[in-house]
Structure formats: structure tokens, C-alpha cells
Chain A
């Protein structure tokens, strides 16, 4: 099963990664880190691999089946060493907890997986078919151009599906399900809500069993009879299921593989679980009991059963809730210490780079604490946890500019709402698909469905190209204004068009230094453009499927991309191979965001979960469930503590990263939320949506209310206050212009962008 995910990173790549920090060229890293990096990287696939086989009791059966299939294959190919390693790993992983933070146990196995790959690319691709993330992942990893061919998958899918082959009388499924339903409806109220969670996964698996065993009519009847009972937020999945009425359809169907290979996670209190268990055993209802044993992961907790609203808040994802262990790893959510740059008192004198100077003014919180900012935030990762590029002189100048602007920043709050300036894209017949604004708000870039990327300058300063090489050689390199002279005045214009993609551009991101622009497209590539020459510099190939989103790290150099192949990749601009691959999502990765400290990456997905990944070792450190639709927008709060996410269901959810908890729900939008942004001080959260509105929310209040609660006491079962209306500070309707992007300028003016759609 998931064991194979180690195979995601083939050897060639691995070498690449191991050597990466050394030839990073961004200095500032130490050898210590390099070693660390390598080890942890290896750990990552291993620990993910153990992810699937985490539950010793319930998972053993199915794991064994998968492993047997794998072992058989390896033997057939005389890969005895791998067989041995795999065996050992299987033994190990059974008592390994799912938590991906457990690096050490994974270390060995990761290496093992790596070995497997080195010996056989075939094996790799084969294995991955069986894996959670299906063939797409491995295909891209080994660069095998296999596009999820159903026929190829056949043998392996059969292995996976074999669990379904056990026969029961198809006519009785109906009876089983009904009797369980009757039972659950008759239990005490406090247990009913919890036990009702069982309905959906049971329904799905029973239906699939019927379909797999060619009981088409029974399956249809079963579906018709009980699909109406399921929670409305599963409607999308049910639609997929309803189309699937034949065994042949199950081949190569990703949704099915998701259901089958990943256990549906339920959180149930011990009392409720006992109740269910007793009932099933009394009734000798083995059919259902087997399904629960094999396909469900029941996370039992001690304490009060949860209420219906509590359950509803957390459920909705493709594979149930996150296991509690999945969110236990420590996350260093604090901010990195800013390099100290003296702000010259004299505005003209920007040369000074003395080390002792004013403390950095990045966050007002620190601001108020003054000298404290010099101390390391206990929650912050060490400064060199991941190697960051060294600051260039121009970066320092920019920081100084930033600080100057920051002093003029408006302090926002419920009484002082930001002004909103709306940039409408007119005549965008091609369809505007992505927008980004530079941090200093001087440039706006738009990605269009006609494969173009357009860059506008919104300041009087026009966009100019660098002169051609021949002309450049004539320039006096010693002159003071050499940077001015290299620009070709003839090419000055307000906007530039970048041609290169061969499909709609879905993601776009400026580098922090404004020299580069990234764009990701339906054609499966991410392109890096120079904003000096306005040409394409690199095309990063790796995703073979549409790349839905990409973003630069706040410190530049690194960037992350995620797409239809369910894998998020971390790249460095000077490597054409990804440095990290984050796999685990069960459906398309729809959006990717860097944590402000650049040590973590958040990804939102169509499987309705959000995952937070550690850039250092590739581990998944947080899984957030609760959205009821694909997630299209993510935003970190400026202090790095919180995450906001918006989805097609029109809700914004707020998450506490440190505790791994949902802490708020903002209802109000009536359509997909495409953009979220915190104000520079984190006081206001702005959300922009397909419903043509920009809404402002009181983020301070939303977070304050919760900080008074005692998180640790609760088992993570947060009771969400219904206070969306109180938190909503303003709704601003645009004229039939969906809001695609939001950006706070350094002075806290809110910029919104969208295409006017008359």
C-alpha cells in the first residue's frame, strides 16, 4: 500500500537532493544542516510509507495482502534484497504510529524504498499503482510517460480490490444496513450523532462490494434506497459513485482507489464504540463488522461523545477526519528573526549596513515589545533550519523601503476599515485565471486562459527590458547609473506579455525581489520568467498534469507547486528537478502557500483537506479537515500562527497551526472563495469570492475569543461559536467582477483584482 511511497523519489533525484544544499549557492547553510537534511529527507518517504499501515489491529489484513503482492512481484524479478528490506519494514511499520513526525523509524525504511527504486524503475511504477496516490504520482516521479492507463493498472487494482471479493448474499446488504440504521436511530441521543458517522463509509464500501461482485441491480437499488440518508456534503463523491455501476468501471477510477486504499477515519468516543461493537457482535453482523475492521480506522477517544455540530464541523473530507496523531508533531510556526538592518536616519544614505541598529519592525507585536525581537521566538525554527539565500544589497534596500512604508502603515481594526482599490481587468475575453501583485504593489501580473501571462506596472514607472548583449557591451560599467543605463528606453511600456505556455495559466507568483515571475499552467510546466528581460528562463517539468498553483517562498529561491497529480513539489529556482515531493493528498492539489518563515508549506486539495508539510524533511505535519468542498484559497496570518482557508462551499475556516485545531468558521460568502489575505498586521482578514464580493472579517476577535479557551484540555473537539455575523466587518459588492486576488499594500490599503464579466 502506501508503503511504496518511498518510491516517489527515484535515486537520481535523491542524489540530487542530497547534494543540493552544498551547491545551493545561496550560502548561509552549514554542513550540519546538510547532513540533517539528507537524513530527514530519507526519513520522509519511510514515514509516509508507514502511514498506510499504521493501525496494527484493523489494518493488518489488508496490508498483508498488499505486501504479499509486492513481495511476490519482487521475487519474480529476483530483487531479493528489496524483498528482505521490505519484509523488515513491514514488521517495523506495524507498530509505527502514523504520525509522520517520527523520523527515526522511517529513516531506514526510506532508504529501503530508495533501494527498491534504484533497482527497478518498473517496480517503482508498479508499486505506486498500489499506493495511495495512484499511478499519476509515480509516473511523474520516474518520468515514465504513463498516463494512468487503465489496462496497465489491471493486475494491481485487482490485488487492491480483492478485499471486496468475499461474498455475501447481495440481497442481505439492504437488511444489514437497515438494521444498523435502526439500531443507531434507537440509541441514546448522545451516541447517535457519533455513530451516524459510520453510515457514509459503510454505505460506500457496501455499494462498492456489490458493484465489484457484479450485483449491478442490487447495487443500484441499494444506492437509491440509502444515498438520500447521507450528509449533503458528500454529494460530489456520491455523484461519482452513482456513475459507477459495473466492475469494469472500477478499474482506473481514482475515486475508488481513494476509498479503497485509504482508511476512512472516524473519531468516536469509547462508549459509543463499545455500543456499536456490542450490537454488531450480538447480531452476528459480520458483513458490517468486516468492513469496519478492514476499511475504517476508528480513532477512539475517552470522554464525552461529541455533538452533531462538533462532528459536522470536522467531517466532510474524502477520507474522514484527520487522526489525532497526525496533528501532534511540533510545528515551528514562529517567524524567523529578521536580519538587522540599520535604517539610516538620513533618507539619502542607504549604504549603511551596520549590524547593530534598530530592531526590525516587521510585526507590530514585536514592535511593542521592542528589544524582545532580538530574542529568538521559542516557536520559531532555528535561523538556518533550511538554508535561505543571503540578502543582497538590493534586498537590503528593499527592506529599508519596507520599514519606511511600515511606519506609515494604517492600523486597522473594526473602526478603521481599509480602503479597497479594485483593479478590474477589462476585455479579458480569454478568461482571467490567476493574478498576483508584488509585495511593494508596483506590479500586477495576470495569467489567462489563452496561455499568456501579462504584467502591468501600476506605478508611473514603465516596464523596460534590458538592452541586447551588443548594446550592453557599449555601456560604461563604472558609471553610477549603470543600472539605469542597461535598460532599453525604447521598450518602455505599461504592460508586457509573456508567451510560452501551451495551456491556461492557473497559478502565478512574483519573486520577493521582483526580478522573477513564476507561472504554472495546464500544460504541466512551471515557468520562471525574468522581469528584466521579459523572457522565459526555465521550464520546470515534473508534473505531467495541470499544475493548479505555484508560489515563491517569502525569502525567494524556493518555490512550491501543486497540481492534478496530487503531489506538491518544492523546487529551487536553480534546480530543474524538485527538491521535495509532498504526497499524501487523495485528490488534486488546488492551492499551495508558503508559511511566512518558509519552513512549511500548506496545500489545499480537492479531497477537502489541508495539509501542512515540513520543507526540511517533507513530512506532513498537519492535516486539517472540515471543508465540504475543494479548497481554493489559503492564507497564513502574518505572525505565522494561524491559517485561513476558503473553499467552494463559501466558508472560510480558521486554523491554529500550533495546536492543529479548527478555531473558527466564517460564513457569508455564497460561492467559491478564490482569495484570502490577512492585513499586514493580521488584524483584518479579507476574502474575495466568485459571488462578486469582498468581505472583511475581524481576525483579531476571531483569534482572541479562542485564545482564552484551554486547548489542551479538550481532545481537539472544538465547539465553534456561531459568530460569523459579528466578525463580518464589511461586504463590498463589485459589479459582476469575481474577486480573484487580494493584496494588502505595505500601508494596509487593500487591492482587489478580478475580470469584469458583463
Chain B
């Protein structure tokens, strides 16, 4: 291959057409073909010479990229006037033009109005050079701090999980040898050879955690599900940014999945929310390769979306927000992890749709399904949700205007309605041609038509007002208000203090330490119990406060755009659903 390249090097000469074009540009017409050939050879040679000199400057500048200043310096070396006006731009856009059978690439230089430049405010002064020290290695071991690259790069994590039997590459093999040495293994020398011998086997992944890692794990998990919000924020931040979590990933994933399993049964909304926030943090960590643990994480997330009951008082607590949040997580993981082989998105969509279409599905599950589907994007809304708006509208109407069945159903229907309106309106505003006729909407979408119409009109006016911000504004208007009022009304409506519930935790897990201010329920000493105060009072307000503030903290500006489109659907009872999901992913 090198041979071929070299042969090419020999023959590369600028085309004579370029010579002609350049000659014309300086006013020399009708250059003879022979002169062109001679010129192009000479010019090519000189250019190569200059490029070779420029490379020297690049090497001494300790760069990998040749810059225009290198060329200038090389020209200076040859006692040639450097080219003025070419600054080191990362990207110099060449434009292409053709005409009269000739093709030309040129660098577009726009005329600049000086007054414009003078009048524009000065850009911010770039930060000054500064010096920052960190430990690259401490007595031979590289600490896992953000300043250092992750111990196992994502690519390596990926190769390990996707091609476990592949030959270990020389670099990795060498690294593992070093790791072996660094971890102070006694037979450091023998280990290298040992590893070499085992090369064809699946590389061992270390399952034991160091004492520090165990401590870290304990601290983090406790903080994540503990009562102190400040600590939790810190812990989540650590999960989302720390590059060295690779080895603890299996533990975290088990922690989350077990935690969801237990707390769904216990209807412990707060803990479910905390666990979902952990999932979010894990997904945000750019150094982790989560694919290996999706079989644990996805069922947990789906459970939080569609579970029939997520809290003890469905009429009061804002479990809707949890569903929304989990639905967003689901959509995000579909986007990042869905491939042609695992097909996550289509499997998830199928699951949601199936439950939604079932008549017996409860309103809560229905809400979850719709939320889950609508977070998947406008296309999904258009193809799956919009056609069913009329049917769904009829169902909502039956609850809202029919004989009062139960308060819970009514709240559910109300939420489903607003969810559908929120997500569908933006999609319709984008796709449906004007005008927005209320009657037309009623015939198209049934019961929800008129409301939808007003939402669409609102969306359109806002879009017109601030074309860019439209999506964000609709979100702020439609979302937080109702949730807030619901939970507050719940607070006032809830009767006397509830008895504290005791949650049993699998012995392998430490979910949280006993909360402070727990009513005097003695906890049996042998097994570890977690006592949750769900009574109205300090604990429950705190709980709600946490619950109310998370949508804001977790929605980053970048996310909002997609997150706010979406809309709706439904399902059946949770248990079979969870089982279905589990069965599919395990």
C-alpha cells in the first residue's frame, strides 16, 4: 500500500488548468500549453518543498495539525514574503463554481462593511493561560479523577461486551499487565505471562471492588436515596461526571432494578423518583457504556412509566410527574441505545401500544403508555396517537361527563386529557394546514377537538411570536401548573396521619438509613428495614418538595425541544405488564 501511495506522490502535479486559471486571474490570457506544463511542474515542486518545511514547524510547534502560520514560517525560511491575511482557521471553506465547461474552487472572501465591525460589541476576551496541577499517577496507580481519562475507555468497554472472545489487542494486554502490577498483586511479574497465555479467553472483568470503591458505592447509594437533597444532588453529579465508575456499574444497575422492584410493590413514590434520577445520571455519564445493563435498567424504567399504582395515595401524590420523567428517560435510551439488532424502540413502542389499546387498562397505566409513546417523537405521535384521539376523547368524555365513578378515575382522565392536548397540539400545529376551525376539529378529533383547537391556535400564535422559543413556552404553560395544584389539593385533602409503612429491603441492598423524625416504630434489629413516614408532616412535605423540584432540575435546556412535543395513550394492569417487559429483556 505504501508503494502505491509513493507512486502517486511521484506523479502528483497541479493540473495545467489551474495554471491557466491563475494566469487569467493576474491578467495573462492565452497561456501556451507548454508553458502551463512547465509552470505547473515547477509550482508543484516548490509547493511540495514548502509543505515539507512547514511540517518541521508543525513538529516543533508540538501539534498534529498543519496551520497556515507553519506555511508562513516555511516561506520566511525560503526568504519569500509570507501570505498575509490567512489566519489559522480550523476550516477554510472552499466554494465550487463551474461554467463554460470549467470548474473552479475558490475561497470566498466577502466584502465586509467596516462600520458593521466597528459597531459590533467587542467579543469577550478569551481566558488567559493558566496552569493547573493534578495527579496523573500516585505511586504508580492512576487515580480515577475527572482530570484523567477514564480507566477503561468507552470503546474498550464496548469491545469487551460485544466481542468478548476477540483477541486482546497489544495495547490492552499491556495495560492489563500494568494494572495487575499497579494493584500491588504480589506475583506481578508472573501475571503478565499468565495473561498472555490466557489471551484467547474472555478477559476477566474484575468483580471485586477496592475498599475505596466500596466506600464510595455505599456513600453514593445512601446519598441518592437518603433524605438530604443537597447530598443527593452531589451524589448524582458524581455519578453523571465521574470517569471511574465503570467497575461499579453492575452494582448500580442491580441496585436500581432491585430498588424499583421492591418500591413499586411498596408504592414508595419518592424512592422510585430517586432511582429514576440515578438512571438519568448514569445515562448522562459520557464514560459509561450502559448497553450491558439495559436488561436491568429498561424494565425498571418501564415499570415506573406504566405501573398501575406508584404511590400510596394515587388521588393525591403526583406520580404523573414520575411517569413523565421516566418516559423521557425511556425515549432517551431508545435514541441512544436502539440498534437494528436489539430493536429497543420498536419493542417498547409495541408494548406501549398494546396496553393502550386494551379497554381494561387503568387510567394511570394509560397515561404512562401515552407519555412513553409521545416522548418518542412527533412521528410516533402522528402515526400512533393522532388516529386514536377520537376514541380516547370518547373515553375521557365518558368519565368526565358521565356518572362519577371514582375520583381517581376522574383525575386520571383529566391528566390523560391534558397530556394528549399538550403533545398533540404542537404536532398538529406543525402538520395541519390552516385555518383552525373548531367544528372541523370536532369532527376530526371528537370530544377533544375544541380544546385541541384552542391549544393549536395558542401554539401557532406563539410560534409566530417567537419562532424559536415556541416549544419551550408551550411547555411552561401547560405542564407544571396542574401538577402543582393537584398535589397541593391533595395535601389539604389528606386526612389524619397515616401509619408509617415499613419497607423490607433485600439484604444485599442498603437503600437508605432510617429517616430522622420517624414515628416511634421500632425496627427489628436482625433484618434491615426502612421506615418511611408518609404521614402529612415534615417528611411528606419534604418528599413533595423534592418531587416538585425535580422536573426543573432535570430538564436541561437542550432537552426541552424534543421533550415538549409529544403526546399520548394506555394499558392494563401493571403486574403482567412488568412481567412482559422483564421477560422481553432478560
Contact = CB atoms under 8 A, between A and B. Distances in A.
Contacts of A545: 77
Chain A to chain B: the 7 pairs with minimum beta-carbon distance, closest first = A417-B140, A228-B3, A147-B79, A420-B136, A422-B136, A243-B48, A420-B137
Contacts of B192: 725
A228 B2 contact: yes
Contact of B129 (A238, A426, A458): A426
B52 interface: yes
Interface string B174-190: 11011001100000000
Contacts of B79: 147-149
B135 interface: yes
Which of B41, B60, B127 has the most chain A CB atoms inside 10 A of its CB? B60
B483 to A, nearest CB: 40
Interface string A504-531: 1010000000000000001000000000
Interface string B38-61: 000110110011001000110111
B139 A732 contact: no
B131 A458 contact: yes
A678 interface: no
Contacts of B138: 419
A401 B51 CA distance: 50
Which of A243, A504, A546, A588 has the most chain B CB atoms inside 10 A of its CB? A243
Contacts of B498: none
11 contacts: A148-B78, A417-B140, A421-B136, A427-B126, A429-B126, A456-B131, A545-B77, A588-B56, A729-B181, A730-B182, A735-B148
Contacts of A416: 139-140
Given A223-B10, A433-B61, A733-B148, A427 B128 contact: yes
B59 A731 contact: no
Nearest to B196: A725
Contact of A740 (B44, B62, B129, B135): B62
Which of A546, A606, A752 has the most chain B CB atoms inside 10 A of its CB? A546
A423 B137 CA distance: 12
A433 B60 contact: yes
A17 interface: no
A477 to B, nearest CB: 36
A446 B130 CA distance: 11
Interface residues of B, number: 53
Contacts of B142: 732-733
Interface in A387-424: 416-424
B149 interface: yes
Contact of B59 (A672, A725, A733): A672
Nearest to B135: A421
Interface string A645-679: 00010000000000000000000100010100000
A632 interface: yes
B461 to A, nearest CB: 42
Contacts of B44: 243
Contact of A235 (B2, B61, B149): B2
Contacts of B133: 421-424, 458
B99 to A, nearest CB: 33
A652 B69 CA distance: 30
A220 B59 contact: no
Contact of B132 (A424, A588, A694): A424
Nearest to B182: A730
Interface string B340-381: 000000000000000000000000000000000000000000
Given A245-B45, A425-B129, A730 B137 contact: yes
B139 A417 contact: yes
Interface string A427-445: 1111111000000000010
Which of A668, A729, A735 has the most chain B CB atoms inside 10 A of its CB? A735
Contact of B60 (A232, A548, A738): A548
Interface in B93-152: 126-140, 142, 147-149
A244 B9 CA distance: 11
Contacts of A504: 57, 60-61, 69, 73
Would you call the interface of chain A mostly helix, strand, loop, or mixed? mixed
A240 interface: yes
Contacts of B182: 417, 730
A732 B130 CA distance: 23
B30 interface: no
B134 to A, nearest CB: 6
Q: How large is the interface on A (under 10, 10 to 19, 20 to 34, 35 or more residues)?
A: 35 or more
A236 to B, nearest CB: 8
A548 B6 CA distance: 30
A690 interface: yes
A112 interface: no
A562 to B, nearest CB: 12
A418 B49 CA distance: 44
B11 interface: yes
Given A424-B132, A630-B56, 19 more contacts: A147-B79, A227-B10, A235-B6, A243-B44, A416-B140, A421-B133, A422-B134, A422-B147, A427-B126, A458-B131, A504-B73, A506-B60, A545-B77, A546-B73, A564-B56, A731-B178, A735-B147, A738-B62, A740-B62
A449 B128 CA distance: 14
Interface string B1-29: 01100110111000000000000000000
A239 interface: yes
B481 interface: no
A590 interface: yes
A734 interface: yes
Contacts of B178: 728-731
A148 B80 CA distance: 12
Nearest to A146: B79
Contacts of B181: 729-730
Interface string A590-633: 10000000000000001000000000000000000000001010
B64 interface: yes
Given A243-B48, A422-B135, A446 B129 contact: yes
B307 to A, nearest CB: 42
B77 A546 contact: yes
B7 A449 contact: no
Contacts of A738: 62
B133 to A, nearest CB: 5
B432 interface: no
Contacts of A732: 136-137, 142
Interface string A714-758: 000000000001001111111100101000000000001001000
Contacts of B61: 431, 433, 449, 504, 506
A444 B192 CA distance: 38
A428 B10 contact: no
A564 B54 CA distance: 12
B62 A424 contact: no
Contacts of A694: 136-137
A423 B132 contact: yes
A334 B397 CA distance: 98
A243 B135 contact: no
B62 A674 contact: yes
A158 interface: no
A423 B147 CA distance: 11
Contacts of A725: 174, 177, 192
Nearest to A221: B10
B59 to A, nearest CB: 7
Contacts of B149: 733-735
Contact of A426 (B7, B49, B69, B130): B130
A431 B56 CA distance: 15
A732 to B, nearest CB: 5
Nearest to B80: A147
A185 interface: no
B63 interface: yes
Interface string B244-265: 0000000000000000000000
Which of B10, B52, B69, B130 has the most chain A CB atoms inside 10 A of its CB? B10
Contacts of A421: 133-136
B131 A606 contact: no
A419 B135 contact: yes
A38 interface: no
